[in-house]
Structure formats: structure tokens, C-alpha cells
Amino acid sequence: MTRRSTLRFAMRGLWRELRSGDALVLFGALAVAVASMTAVGFFTSRVAAGVAREATQVLAADLRLESASPIAARVLARARRDGLRVAQETSFPTALFHGDRSQLVAVNAVTPDYPLRGRVRIADVPYGPAIATTAIPARGTVWLDSRTAAVLGLRPGMSLRVGAIRLRFTRVLAFRPDQSVGLVSLAPALLMNAADLPATTLIQPGSRATYAALFAGPPAAVAAYRTALRAHPDPAVRIRDAAENSRELGSAVERASRFLNLASLSAVLLAAVGVAMSARRWASRRVDGVALMKCLGASQRFVLGVALAELAAIGALALIAGTLAGAIAESGIAWLLRSLVARELPAASVQPIAVAFATELAMLLGVALPPLIRLRRTPPLRVLRRDAAPPRLRHGVVPALALVALFAILWLMVRDSALVVDLAAGVVAVGAVLAAAGFVLVRVTRRFRGGVGVAWRYGLANVSRRGVASVLQVVAFGLGLMILLLLAVVRGDLMREWRASVGARAPNEFLINIRPQDVPALRRALAALGAADTPMFPVIRARITAIDSRPIASLHFAGARGRAFAEREQNLTWSADLMPDNRLVAGRWWTPADEGKPWVSISTEYRDALHLKLGDAISFDVAGEPLTVRVASIRQVRWDSFRPNFFLVFPPRLLDGAAGTEITSVYLDARERPGLAALAQRFPTVTVIDVDAILAQVRTIIDRASLAVQYVSLFTLAAGVIVLLAAVQATRDERRHESAILRTLGASRFTVLSGVAAEFVALGSLSGLLGAAGAAATGWWVAHRLFALRYAPDPRLWWFGILGGTVLVGVSGTLAARRVVGAPPAQSLRAEG
């Protein structure tokens, strides 16, 4: 019994088992897990690689400074002295109008050397062939992207109003190196010459502009300059370089891919159930053979070696097949998300294969190996006494370790321990709830046996008799269907409910950058359009310098939000009255007598992110003036009212000296909207933001992304099918025997098959019911907790769930069991020996 003969035995056995279908389910379970992991892994690795490759390009420079206020001239002068090339870019959103159409665009005003890295690409006509250029728009001209040109009905050569001046649209802007905002580049853009910027009057104190300074040069000079900048950090200025940028984009990719990973992991967990079931069955099918081989002289090492070699070969085949399937499926994800990932993706990395391999190994070691190891101890006595069985495994250590390994992999993929803990708890909780519900349902089917025909009676009897296996299948499919229904039906319902709850006449246009001197005239103009009584709020920008006299730089905040609040400039306002969509949760609102007092009212988000409480002192830098105030009240804000709202509200008269702009929001219906064009011409500094358009854009993103997640969830269903096949296989001998007896008693093939169909139809409708109930419950919870909405599931949910489950499980189960019950009874009865 050499190693060669072990291997030869294993390979011959494997071939037979694959052919007879015994090892096929195990192979399928592993392959589904590998496919779902590699499909998602390949895709995210391609996106990550694409992002990393373009990290310097995306900056359009080697080093980039960004600030909400203009970059100091001495900073630029110093860079020039150090031998660096310098360019500047000012970006802000504004609405463009042409005729009665409008479009919000990101304006980028650049100086002649822009971009320092990468090339701008332009075309002569919208959607025409693009060529690279080193120029920037000449004074008096703009380059506009194809989509905006199409929306506004502009053709090259026409002129358009930008703020207070008219500029000529000369070229179509096809690509800008720094056009991407993180992963997603959606905002249409306009490129103009920085020299034209002052005349537009679009830049006002408090406008939402970003000022960027771009630097490029020899690496040593860039490094020296960066060191010098870091020596005197200015908290208002962000330094971005390629390394930091690719890190940041990388983590954005990670965040974005989280849901895809979660969907694929649910498939992996289900597949692990399939692996456990089929490996058990596989091992138990081998017991007789092993006993005989040992009786004929085989050693324990040999029988274990053969089993391990077979298992390894199945694992290797599954890895190959799963990876191939994953690669094919990946192109599906890439296609679904093609409009969101606006770049050419490079080839995928092989790392996902390693991760899938590790997962496969964990599953095999944890759930497949123990029954095989047990096999080694099969007593040869079994050839004489059927009841001589391998001893039970005493240690649950191996499965426990495998579970730990699975969750470690999970963490690796999601990189968020809270999420992993939640998910683990969720899996256990959902599994337990589904199992309990499944158990009850399975018990209930027993009641229905009285009044139905023989086929149904036989089928339903099987459902309740194979209790544990039935519950397992119901849970497996229920889970897969639940995820799909949640994404396909409940999500849409929730969106509609939310939109309805916001109200038909909720504001749909934001007007920002309103100069105080324009307020009365603008109010009259809006009233003329039909939007009476528009509350205006002053907007002042300020930065936190200290909390309770401790400098903000010395405080640490765990959450990203806390850091953002602490580091970035904040918009704040003052108001005599509490906003109607705000609710006080602590402290009291000020009275007229309190006006001018050094108080502030903060929102609950602010309180949570910065760990604040009533009476805490917050120090601000308001346009260079220090100001320290105490927290007088805490407000719960309903952000989705589409009215201007603020984290920070001050009492009137406290900030009287500070210069700022005003903001308002109005509801205009489709008939009134065109009037905005004239209004924008009269008040060129005002930027109009169309909420509906932004919501539509967000919706497109969510739709696409959730379509991709649904697509990945199909793997969960595939894993469910595997669990079903494993369950059918585990009952194969039993079924063969029963059907032989039934047919010997005179039942037709059709009657027996109808009984089997009845069993799986019952199982399918149960899991569909369960999946729909799970989706409805989750939808209700999300609606209630996250959106404070009332949610009644659409009746379609139940139909989709029950019908989907019935068809899916009924068809696949019946097909799987068909071969077994179809065999001639004589052969089946004889095969039992």
C-alpha cells in the first residue's frame, strides 16, 4: 500500500463517485461558495486596482492642497521658489439655464498649467471622438460635458450664462483627470478659465467652493515641500498625495463592496451547510467499503489517505470550477455596475482565489473532515455485524475552530468587526427564527393530510417525517428568498413610502448663496412664482477650535463623522424660532430675552459624534473671530423634510457681525419651474439645486447597486438548491425503497412522482412564505427604526415569495428525486441485498 496506490485508489473512487452523483453535491456546495466569493472578489479587486492605478492622475498633480477658503499666495510662491510647477483650481456647484431647461453642474475654474498630471480630453461634438489636449479653455469660453450639453440643448458655438456673464461653449469636455469623486463620477462638469471667475460673481462669502492648489515636480522637491507643509499644519487645508489618495479610495472601494461581500457570504454560509450535509452522507456511504477494505487488509492510514486524497481532489476541482464560474459571473456584476464605475477596469487580481481557497479549506477542515476522520476508526467487524459503527467524535473543537475561521474570513472581507458581530448575531437570530417558524409550519402540514389525495398525503407525510431535513431546507431557501425579496420588492416599497411621507409639496428646490441684500427682492420674485412665505436662513461658516477649553486637535473621535465635525468647516445659522421639523430632546429653546447670549443649540448627531452634553463649552473660529458658547439645547432634526436644517443654531444677534449668505428651499411644480431661469439671471450669485434631480440620481445609484447585490444573492439561492440536493441525496435509499414498495403495491410511476412533487411544492411554499415574512418583518423594522415610517408590505411580496419558492423548490426537488423514484421496483429492491 504505497502512496502511489493510495492515490490511484482515490482517483478511481473519485471518478466513480462523481459519475454516480455521490460526490457531486459536495463538489457543488464547494463550487458555489468559491464562485460567489471569487465573483465578488474579482470585481472589487478590479475596481480597487483601477482606482490605485489612477491615484496620481485623479489628483491631476503630485501633491494637492484643498481648502474651503483661497490658498494663501505665499504658499504658492514658496512652491514656485522650490522649483515646483503650480496650478490652481476652484470648484463649486451651480445651476446652468438655457431656455426653460436647467442642470446643476460642477464648475471648475482652472489656471493655464492645469492639469499638472494626466491630460484633459476634449471632443468637437457631444459624444464625439475625444483627443487629449494640454490647453485650457481660452478666456470667454467654456468646455462642457456631453450630457449637460444634451440636457440643456446646447451645441458648440452657442453661448450660455454662467453667473453674471455669458461664456461661449467651444469644446465638449470628455475627461478630466480629477473628475472622480471617490468611486463614482456622476456630476456633470464645466471647465472654464480662472481669469473669468470674478466676473461671474458666483463666488461669495460662504459659498460652497473648494479651492485647490496643484503641485508637481521632481519627487525630491515634492517630498521636501510636503515636509515643509506638514511642519506647520493648517487644519483648514487638506494635503492630498497619491499614497494617501489611493488609501482613501481603497477604503471607499472596501465600503462600497461591503454589501456585495455580505451577499456572497450568505451564500458561503449556506454552502457550508450543504458541505456539512453532503460530507456526512459521503462519509457514511463509505463506511461499508472501508470496513471491507480493512477486513481485506487495508490499514487505517490507507483508508484515511484514500478519503483525504478524494476530498482534496474534490476541493481542487471545486476551486477550479468555482473560480471559472466566478470569473464569468464577475463580468455580470461589472456589466450591471458599468455606469457607476466610470473607468476602464484592469484585470482582476488572483487574491480572491486565495481567499476562496482559505474559505474552502475552513469548510472542508471544519465540516467535512470530522466525519472522514471518524471513518478511519470504522471497525472491520462491520462486515459481520451491521450495527458495528465508527465511534462518535468526542471533540466539537474542529467544527468550532472552523466556525471561527469562517468568521475570520468574513472579517477579512468586510473589515468591520461591528458588522461581523452583527452579522453573526443576525445569522444566528434569523436562522433560529426561521428554524422555529419552519418547525411550526412543518408540524402544521401534518394536519392537512386528512383531506387530500394519496399523492399529497404521501408527500406531506414526508415533509413532517423528515422534520429536521425539511426545516433545514425551508431555512436555506427562506433565507435566499428573503434577501431577494428584501431587495427587489421591499426596497422599492420603502422608497415610495418614504417619498409619500415627505409630502407632495415638500420643497424640491434649494436656493443657496443668496446675498443678504438680495433677500427682499428674491422673496418677492419667489412669491410671484407661487412660492409664498419662504423662510430664509443665514449661513455662516465656522470651525471648532476647542471643546471645554481643550484644543480640538488634542481630542480624538472614533467615528468618521466625529472627525469630520471636528476638522471641517461647519455651516451654522441663527434663528429666533425652533424650526418646525425640529424637536427639542434636551434643554430649552431661547426666548427673546436670551437673544445675543453665548448659547448654541446642537443636533443629536452632533451630540453623539462629539460626545457633547448640555452646558458644554464649544469654541469656534468664525471668520477669524473667536467665539465660545455653551450648549443650551439639543434638537432632533428631520433631515428628510427638505427644508434647510443645521447641526448648529445660535440665538439671534450673537453673530450679527459675521458676513454670510442666505439659504432657502421652495416647492415649485412643473409649471412654475421654468420661471427659475429668469430668476437665476436676475440673481446671478444664487445657485439653484434641484432636489428631484439629485434624488433621481441617488436612486439610479441605489437601483444599480441593489441590482448587483440581488445578482450576487442568486448564489445564495444556488446554495439553497445545493442544500436541497444534499437533503434529497441523504434520503435517496429511503426514497428508493419506499417508491419500490409503493409501486409494488400498484402505484403508478406518476402517482409516486406526484407524491414527491407534493412534498417539494409544500416545502417550497413554506420557504416562500417564510422568506416573504422575513422580508416584510425586516422592511417593517427598517421603516420603523430608521425612517420612522409606517410600512404595510405590498401584497405582491407574498405572491412573489410563495410562488417563487414553490416553483424553485418544487421543480428542482422533483427533478432531483425523479431518478430515484423512477427506477424499476425490482431493481431497487434487489439493490438493497
Q: What are the percentages of helix, strand and coil residues in the chain, rounded to 5? A: 60, 15, 25
Q: Does position 819 bind other proteins by CB under 8 A?
A: no
Q: Does position 824 bind other proteins by CB under 8 A?
A: no
Per-residue mark of binding to other proteins, 18-57 (x: CB under 8 A): --x-x-----------------------------------
Total residues contacting other proteins (rule CB under 8 A)? 32
| 101 touches 153 (CB < 8 A) | yes
Piece of the chain touching other proteins by CB under 8 A; list 81-89, 486-494, 646-654, 823-831:
823-831
DSSP 701-759: HHHHHHHHHHHHHHHHHHHHHHHHHHHHHHTHHHHHHHHHHHHHTT--HHHHHHHHHHH
Q: Does position 826 bind other proteins by CB under 8 A?
A: no
Nearer to other proteins, 24 or 807 (CB): 24
Nearer to other proteins, 324 or 388 (CB): 388
- Nearest distance in Å: CB 371, other proteins: 18
Query: For 354-382, b where at least 16 C-beta lie within 10 A, e where not — what string?
Result: ebbbbbbbbbbebbbbbbbbbbbebbbeb
Nearer to other proteins, 13 or 587 (CB): 13
Q: Which helix (H) or strand (E) holds 795?
A: helix 795-822
- Nearest distance in Å: CB 825, other proteins: 13
Q: What span, in angstroms and rounded, lies between the C-alpha atoms of 631 and 586?
A: 10
Q: Which helix (H) or strand (E) holds 247?
A: helix 242-295
Q: Does position 7 bind other proteins by CB under 8 A?
A: no
Per-residue mark of binding to other proteins, 505-534 (x: CB under 8 A): ------------------------------
Residues in the chain: 833
Q: What span, in angstroms and rounded, lies between the C-alpha atoms of 317 and 303?
A: 21
The neighbour count for residue 441, using CB atoms within 10 Å, is 22
Nearer to other proteins, 25 or 547 (CB): 25
- Nearest distance in Å: CB 424, other proteins: 40
At a CB cut-off of 8 Å and minimum separation 6, what does 13 contact?
Answer: 306, 310
Q: What span, in angstroms and rounded, lies between the C-alpha atoms of 282 and 275?
A: 10
Piece of the chain touching other proteins by CB under 8 A; list 375-383, 473-481, 704-712, 736-744:
375-383
Applying CB under 8 A, which of residues 3, 5, 77, 682 lies at the interface with other proteins?
5
Nearer to other proteins, 140 or 380 (CB): 380
At a CB cut-off of 8 Å and minimum separation 6, what does 499 contact?
Answer: none
Nearer to other proteins, 16 or 550 (CB): 16
Query: For 610-629, b where at least 16 C-beta lie within 10 A, e where not — what string?
Result: bebeeebbbbbbbbeeebeb
Applying CB under 8 A, which of residues 385, 550, 613, 682 lies at the interface with other proteins?
385
Q: Does position 379 bind other proteins by CB under 8 A?
A: yes
Residues 280-319 within binding reach of other proteins (CB under 8 A)? 288-289, 292-302
Nearer to other proteins, 279 or 362 (CB): 279
Q: Which amino acid is at 527?
A: A
Prior bond of 115 cis (ω within 30°): yes
Nearer to other proteins, 5 or 748 (CB): 5
Applying CB under 8 A, which of residues 3, 16, 166, 588 lies at the interface with other proteins?
16
- Nearest distance in Å: CB 1, other proteins: 6
Nearer to other proteins, 174 or 303 (CB): 303
User: 770: helix, coil or strand?
Assistant: helix
Q: Does position 351 bind other proteins by CB under 8 A?
A: no
Reading the block at residue 243, the C-alpha cell is 499614497
Cα radius of gyration rounded to whole Å, the chain: 33
- Nearest distance in Å: CB 381, other proteins: 5
Nearer to other proteins, 16 or 247 (CB): 16
Q: Does position 1 bind other proteins by CB under 8 A?
A: yes
Residues forming the site for other proteins (CB under 8 A): 1-2, 5, 9, 13, 16-17, 20, 22, 288-289, 292-302, 379-381, 383-385, 827, 830-831, 833
